[in-house]
Amino acid sequence: MTQPSIPHVDIESLEHFDQVVAAGATAMAGWRVQSVDLTGRTAELLGLSPMGALFLGCLLEEKADRWVRDGGGLVFPAIPELPFDSYRGTLYDADELYAGLDHGYESTPDARIYAWSRQHDERGDTSRTLAAALHDHAIADALHELPSSGAWVGVMGGHGMARGSTTYRSAVLLGRRLARAGLTVVTGGGPGAMEAANLGSSLSAYDDAAVDRAVSALAAVPSFRPSIAAWAAAGLDVRREFPGNGGVSIPTWFYGHEPPNVFATSIAKYFSNAQREDVLLSQARGGILYLPGAAGTVQEVFQAVTPNYYGDAATQIPLILVGITHWTVTLPVWPLLQSLAADRAMASSIRLVDTIEEAADLVS
């Protein structure tokens, strides 16, 4: 006999909890409550049947905690002494990751979390591994819930592309054009080509003169080396002057030397690079554009190629390499892709073009 399904309810704020209770709820079956301080709601909790409820990292008074556990609910307590919330219900944004930047990058949550992750790698502590895994699960869930108005198009490329360069400005115009076409720009979240694409998306409502002013301002700090703080501060200044929707970025603390760019509106930052790469490439169903890059970009090319190689015509995702010399001479990826694609459905999904404008024509 098939059991009836229980409606699933995500509660990620005290306001939402109060709304659900005020609507007449009597039971918490199917509730998943994440990182909510409920110490002032013990009376309300005692009036609700806890069977089938899940509390992740919530603050509960002892009486409420015992009521939930004894009544068939599950309580996963917050993990102490972490510089992050393992059960967070939302994605990051630049203001959160760079809070405290005035006191130096080392004072920011982004830097402190990276330092924690390096300590975790060295110690091999199981509790730390669990904390990171729970965090990445929460980020994946928040990313899945992110509303999107258009197909996601990935823009991949190296972090070495300097602000103010001709290639940087071209990548900004690419991001702007994709966003203007109703597409959601998604990047790996770092500096260089990734930053430029997210910046371009955020400038979709602005004219060329605004693009020139933004790029010119950023050119004063062309790289995150030697100072991440100066690089991030310059970006935050431009973002305040030209607010807009910068799309999505999916960076990782695995590459701690690459700070996250500030222009993505939603930042899904992971500890696990493998999970991050898989999510990043699987989300970009509208196609992936590869600007010149090095090992990380090459990895992303072949990770995306594999499902195309084994897939049929209906499952292909457009994969567009930009820069003929780069992808045939500097890093001869294109000849290998052609060999793999021979006599397969994948042949129709891979393209090599020489300019960003040509690449944009293929997806927008």
Q: How far apart are CA 169 and CA 211, in angstroms?
A: 8
Alpha-carbon gap, residue 199 to 261, rounded angstroms: 9
Share of residues in the chain with pLDDT > 90 (%)? 88
- The span from the CA of 287 to the CA of 184, in Å, is 11
Q: Identify the pLDDT of residue 327.
A: 98
Q: What is the pLDDT of residue 108?
A: 98
Q: Residue for token digits 């905690």?
A: 65
**Which residue type does 130 have?**
L
Contact in structure between 171 and 155 (CB atoms under 8 Å):
yes
Alpha carbons 44 and 82: distance in angstroms, whole number: 30
Q: Give the closest residue to 269 by CA, choosing from 115, 150, 138.
A: 138
pTM, two decimals, is 0.91
pLDDT (tens digit per residue) in 158-170: 999 999 999 999 9
| pLDDT averaged over every residue in the chain | 94
Contact 296, 331 (CB under 8 A): no
More confident residue, 278 or 218: 218
Span of 24-33, 119-128, 149-158, 221-230 with lowest mean pLDDT: 119-128
- For 206-237, the pLDDT digits (tens) are 999 999 999 999 999 999 999 999 999 999 99
pLDDT in tens, 305-352: 999 999 999 999 999 999 999 999 999 999 999 999 999 999 999 999
Whether the per-residue pLDDT at 2 is higher than 60: the answer is no
Residue 20 — very low, low, confident or very high, per pLDDT cuts 50/70/90?
very high
Per-residue pLDDT, 257: 85
Q: Which helix (H) or strand (E) holds 20?
A: helix 14-22
Return the CATH number of the domain spanning residue range 152-363.
3.40.50.450
> pLDDT tens across 72-122, in order?
999 998 888 899 999 999 999 999 999 999 999 999 999 999 999 988 655
pLDDT at position 256: 87
Query: Does 296 have pLDDT greater than 80?
Result: yes
Residue 173: which pLDDT band, with cuts at 50, 70 and 90? Answer: very high
Tokens for 132? 């990171």
pLDDT of res. 1? 44
pLDDT at 4 over 60: no
Cα–Cα distance measured from residue 348 to residue 117, given in angstroms and rounded to the nearest whole number: 41
Q: Report the alpha-carbon distance of residue 13 to residue 16 in Å, rounded.
A: 5
Give the other-Cβ count within 10 Å of 158's Cβ. Answer: 21
